[in-house]
Amino acid sequence: MRILHTSDWHLGRSFHREDLLSAQAAFVDHLVATVRDERVDCVLVSGDVYDRALPGVDAVKLANETLERLAERTRVVLIAGNHDSARRLGFGSGLMDAAGVHLRTDPARVGEPVMVDDVAVYGIPYLEPEIVRSEWDLSERGHTAALGEAMRRVRADLAARGGARSVVLAHAFVTGGEPSDSERDISVGGAANVPAAVFEGVDYAALGHLHGRRRITERVRYSGSPLAYSFSEEDHVKGSWLIDLRPDGSLGEEFVEAPVPRPLARLRGRLDDLLESSRYDDLTGHWLQFTITDPNRPTSAMERLRRRFPHTLALSFEPDAADGSAGGRTFADRVRERSPLDIADDFVTEVTGTPASGAESDLLHEAFEAFRRKEALR
């Protein structure tokens, strides 16, 4: 069986206020052409179909057209990611099953496969740990406990099928992946990292959530997002995994590169050098992020840069000899290394002059959990 593994479409997302809907539509054209040319038996979409729980009408229209076009040529199995509203994405799933588009957004159904020929395809939507902990009566907290229970249910069903080949879709942060700046943090509510051993025994695990393609193991992989959604992804090769599940149990693989709407680059230096040096002549067509290092903030820097580089999207100022920069590291760099709960604790310390007490930290944790549960149920 031949599968095409893709994820993290984030339909409706913009890139530093640049509308990406036309680029996302171009990816859909590429996806449909790949399905046709490569005779794909099943497309796997491992979550984050939309960029937000309440997507815009243009994003919904594109998703609808995409699934209609794919259904004309192949089967589709699709799960909800942490950006999606599982309830909204799952609307009409029973009706869509008959058309060969299988939406798997309900954690209660993780042990019910979609049979594609003789292969059992299990969809595990993004699991909010505290929600499924209550529903499944789990003794432990965190993503590993939640996904471990989901895989226990998968294996129980698979054991009753007499050795059928198996594919699992999941949306999680699996150990060995490399995050970028454009994924939403999922660490609150339990440790984010899940060991790859959770998927042991399945023929292929099609992962979503991280935006860079990655082999965690030969059979556990991220496809990454089809487009770059942050400048930290400037070196990513975007696309989808084309995987052959061979009768002897081995895998055939090819990474099918997606079209690039515009390449990215990050440049750092003094403004005059950036404006005058011939080293940057080849970058005038790129989307660009600049960091200006002049000792004093130059006037009209963005306007001057855009005269030479019309697709400049982001600009920051980090003077070479800035005081209080923590050894050259920006505030954004320092914050990125800490969880939202740690940042909130630091805020309490800054405002009150004393560290948060145990009771205050517990209250902050409960507030974060309540917000995440509310978001997950939207």
Neighbours of 361 (CB within 10 A): 16
Q: Tell whether the model's pLDDT for residue 187 goes beyond 80.
A: no
Domain boundary (223, 240, 257) is at: 257
- Domain end, chosen from 230, 257, 284, is at 257
Percent of the chain with pLDDT over 90: 77
Which is more confidently placed, 362 or 235?
235
160 or 376, which is more confident = 160
Per-residue confidence (pLDDT) for residue 377, from 0 to 100 = 65
Please tell me the predicted confidence (pLDDT) of residue 188.
45
Kindly list the strands in the beta sheet with 75-79, ordered across the sheet, starting from the edge strand earlier in the chain: 101-104, 75-79, 42-46, 2-6, 239-245, 251-257
Q: Are residues 80 and 199 in the same domain?
A: yes
Asked whether the beta carbons of 198 and 214 are under 8 A apart, the reply is no
Mean pLDDT of 250-261: 96
Instruction: Identify whether residues 106 and 155 lie together within a single domain.
Output: yes
Say yes or no: 210 and 294 in one domain.
no
352 and 276 assigned to the same domain: no
**pLDDT of the residue at 333:** 62
Hey, what amino acid is at 221? R
For residue 163, pLDDT over 90 is answered with: no
pLDDT band per the 50, 70, 90 thresholds, residue 340:
confident
- Tokens 């594109």 belong to residue: 62
State residue 355's pLDDT score: 79
Q: Please check whether residues 280 and 234 belong to one and the same domain.
A: no
The pLDDT value recorded for residue 243 is: 98
Say yes or no: 51 and 199 in one domain.
yes
Q: pLDDT band at 177, cuts 50/70/90?
A: low
Residue 134, judged by CB atoms within 10 A of its CB (0-12, 13-18, 19+), counts as: exposed
Do both 156 and 98 map to the same domain?
yes
Same domain, yes or no: 28 and 146: yes
| Closest by CA position to 275, among listed 257, 298, 242 | 298
Least confident interval from 105-114, 246-255, 330-339? 330-339
Find the domain containing 301 and state its range.
Answer: 264-336
- CB-based contact 53:86 (threshold 8 Å): no
pTM: 0.82
148 shares its domain with 63: yes
What is the reported pLDDT for 326?
A: 45
Sequence-ordered list of residues with C-beta below 8 angstroms from that of 247, at least 6 positions apart, any chain: none
Residue 190 predicted with pLDDT over 60 = no
> Residue 184: pLDDT band by 50, 70, 90 thresholds?
low
The answer to whether residue 49 scores a pLDDT higher than 90 is yes
What does the DSSP 8-state code read for residue 257? E
Q: What's the pLDDT band for 332 if we cut at 50, 70, 90?
A: low
**Same-domain pairing of 356 and 371:** yes
Residues 351 and 286 in one domain: no
Residue 178: pLDDT band (50, 70, 90) is: low
Predicted pLDDT of residue 193: 85
Q: How many domains does the chain have?
A: 3
- The CATH number assigned to the domain holding 72 equals 3.60.21.10
At 349 the three-state DSSP class reads helix
Type of residue numbered 262:
R
More confident residue, 75 or 350: 75
110 shares its domain with 226: yes
194 vs 84: CA distance, rounded Å = 20
